[in-house]
Structures are given as structure tokens and as C-alpha cells.
Amino acid sequence: MDSKTNQMETYIKILEGTSVETLYKLPHKQLGAHPTGFVVIHKEPLLIDFPFTICPLFTCSSDEQTLPGSNPHDVVVLYTVEQGSLERVLYTLYETYKETACEKTETSMKRYVFMKQLPPRKIVIPCLKRKENLIPVLQRFQSIELPKEGYRPQILLVEHSPMPELQSVAEDFNCEYIWIFLDPRMPTMPLGQFNKALCYDKAFLYASPAQWYLFHDNDVLVPKRFWSLLDSNVERADTEFLQPYTHRCLLNLKQVVADMFRENLELADKPLDDSMYFPLQPGAPGGSLYLTRQRYLEAGGHDPQFCWGYGPEDALFYHKLELLEPIAFADDPPIEMIHLWHPPAAAHNPFRNEMDFFVKGVFKQKNREEKLAYMKYKEELLKNLMKSNL
């Protein structure tokens, strides 16, 4: 029996012994973001006689029909004098929401919970090391034009690593944060290598929800007018699923050029010369993906029990989405995304070839009804797990 046959048999045994539900239920560490602002609803007359500068503060009487402000991640506080000092209440809540990732307490709740309306969008970035690329990506999202709703989407960092090395980065940029333990003692298993599919599904299951998700790699820079260009493409294509860049691929910067971009992000606002990036290779399924919450559910999410270790998880997910609607591309208007160079990682996956064969030679070859049935099973699993989290 040759080594390739042994590899495939080992991979199949891992698949047979891996429960996706068990992967989803594994413990993880989670931190919320600090509130983007407070809306204090009061019955009695209220006088703000203390300085409060850590975030916007709005007040309104309980008789008013509409709330001031607009950010869905603001925290609505139902305040009465019996609670004591409003200053103390606000500072306590500011830390509470960060520490416990909570959506509500006994006397407060996130605005979107209070209004029963999901935030329009959310950015999810899976991570393993590469802080030198992640920080410029976060800085870029902070500096580009605001979307039409007038506030920045909340960013969730999902780190799958032996230690929570990027928690401080999440805190510096006020991101939501999930850490999943990567066990280096099991280098061939779904939890022993970076599992991007698990990061995305954990984000969907356990973090605060949104109507649209931008699932985005931690080394990809977006253009200055990204949100308006993205919305124009979604409206034109009338879609719930969009590859949010043109050329069918990213602009992969050469190493020395990427170093310059990390030092000066304003370079991303200027036209690129062909010599600055590698030749285009259309057909890439990964890098960034924009889709609705409903479409993610209908596809059954990702499949961390099949693909891990920089495997073909994006190709598998795209194939499932294609069963629901044709892929829409960000071609009109065009959106060029810039990929910051890093050493190739896929070569470190011992089962990369076996995973490719599973996706192309097994899953894709099943008939449409079989694939849709599997997606329906995954959809119901995700729904049941979300119900159990309530």
C-alpha cells in the first residue's frame, strides 16, 4: 500500500471520528466590544452633572416615541434613581458589556435587542498570528468612508491558536473577540491546525448577529469607498451572496511592496502599477465574502469537520452557495482588494490533497438532492444550537 493510499485512509478515519456538533460545542473564550454609546431612558427629571467622554451619551424621557442616536450597538439604559449614581451605572455597564460579551443586563440592553432589529452588517476576521497584517487591515477599516447607515460595522476577531495572542489587538480596536484553543499536540486533527471554517461557524453561532456578514481574511485591504461600492453591486445584482472584489481574484502584492503598504496605508488609495503585484489568477473563492445571515444558514454554514489547516474550505462553501443562487461578482462598479504578502501556509497541511479530492471528487459529485439534504441538516443543526444559546 503506497503512502498516498495511507494518507487518504488516515483522512477518512479522521472524518469518521469527528462530530461537527462536538466541534461547535467546544468551549471558547469570548469578549464583547465596549458599547458604542449609551441611550439613557428616564422617567424622573435627569441632570448630567459629571463628565462622560468615553463614548457618546444620549438621554430621552420615557414618554418620547423615538430614541436619539442610531448605532445598534449603543446600550439602552432604563434608569431610575433607585439605581444610584448614573455615572457609576454607566461606567459599570461600559466594562460589563466588554467583559461578559452580554447583550443585556437586568436594566440595560443593546439597542438592536431593544428595537428587535438586527444591525445591518458585521465584519468577521479569522486569525492565527500575522499581527503585522491584521493591524493594517483593522486600521484600514477604521479609515475608510462610513457606510450609508452612518456608523462603522462592528468587527469580530476569531482567533484559533494555542494562546490568545491577539486579544490585546481586539481590545485596542474595540472588536468583539472569540478565542478557540488550537491544540499543537494534534497537528493532523481539525483542532490541531488553523480551522478557518470553525472560526466562521463559531462567529455565526455565538457572537452578536447581523443582517449581512463580511467574512474577511486578516491580510486583505479594502478601497476607500468600499461600502458604497459594495452596496451598489448588491443592488445591481439583486443578490444575497456576493464575491466583493473584481478580477475574480485579489491583487497579491509582492513582498517588498507589501512592506511599504504596511508602513503607509495611504498607498492603497492610489492606482497600482502592474509591477507591484503578481500576475492575476482569476478563480479564487476566498479572501472575502459578503452574504446575508439567511443565506449563511441555508448553506448550512461552513464544514470544519471536512476542511482545516488552510484547506479548500472556501471552495466547498462557494459550491454550496452556488446551489442556492448564481455567484454575483463586484464588477460594476469594480472593487479592487489588496492582499498583503505572507509566506504560503497551505503547504503545511498534510491532508491538503486529500481534502481537495474530497471536495472535488466526492462532495461535488453527489447529486443535487443529496447535497441540499446535507445543507438542510446543517441548517437545522445551526438553528438548534442558536436556540440553546438563548
Cα–Cα nearest to 161, from 206, 198, 193, 205:
193
- Tell me the C-alpha to C-alpha distance, in Å, between residue 77 and each of 38, 84, 106, 109, 143: 7, 13, 10, 7, 30
Paired with 155 in beta bridges are 123
User: What pLDDT is attached to residue 3?
Assistant: 63
Amino acid identity of 374? Y
Q: How far is 79 from 223, CA to CA, in rounded Å?
A: 42
The domains of the chain, with CATH numbers, are 3-32+118-389 (3.90.550.10), 38-100 (no CATH)
User: What pLDDT is attached to residue 286?
Assistant: 81
User: What pLDDT is attached to residue 365?
Assistant: 95
Residue 81, SS3 per DSSP: helix
For residue 371, how far is the Cα from the chain centroid? 25
What angle do the packed helices 196-206 and 368-389 form, to 10 degrees?
50
* CB neighbour class for 116 (10 Å; exposed up to 12, middle 13-18, buried from 19): exposed
Q: Which residues of the chain have pLDDT under 50?
A: none
137: part of which helix (H) or strand (E)?
helix 131-143
φ/ψ region of 300 (left if φ > 0, alpha if ψ in -120 to 50, else beta) reads left
Residue 106, SS3 per DSSP: coil
Tell me the pLDDT tens digit for each residue of 313-365: 999 999 999 999 998 999 999 999 999 988 877 667 888 889 999 999 999 99
Contact 75, 97 (CB under 8 A): yes
User: What pLDDT is attached to residue 101?
Assistant: 87
- Tell me the C-alpha to C-alpha distance, in Å, between residue 255 and each of 215, 220, 259, 275: 24, 14, 6, 12
pTM above 0.85, yes or no: yes
User: What pLDDT is attached to residue 24?
Assistant: 95
338: part of which helix (H) or strand (E)?
strand 338-339
Residue 162, SS3 per DSSP: coil
Residue 197, SS3 per DSSP: helix
User: What pLDDT is attached to residue 285?
Assistant: 81
Instruction: Report residue 351 as a C-alpha cell.
Output: 491532508
- Tell me the C-alpha to C-alpha distance, in Å, between residue 331 and each of 230, 284, 299, 321, 328: 10, 15, 24, 19, 9
What angle do the packed helices 131-143 and 255-263 form, to 10 degrees?
50
Instruction: Report residue 349 as a C-alpha cell.
Output: 497541511
- Residues contacting 119, CB < 8 A, separation 6+: 72, 73, 112, 153, 154, 208, 209, 210, 211
Instruction: Report residue 9 as a C-alpha cell.
Output: 485512509
Contact 67, 76 (CB under 8 A): yes
Residue 136: asked if its preceding bond is cis (omega within 30°), the reply is no
Q: How far is 286 from 289, CA to CA, in rounded Å?
A: 7
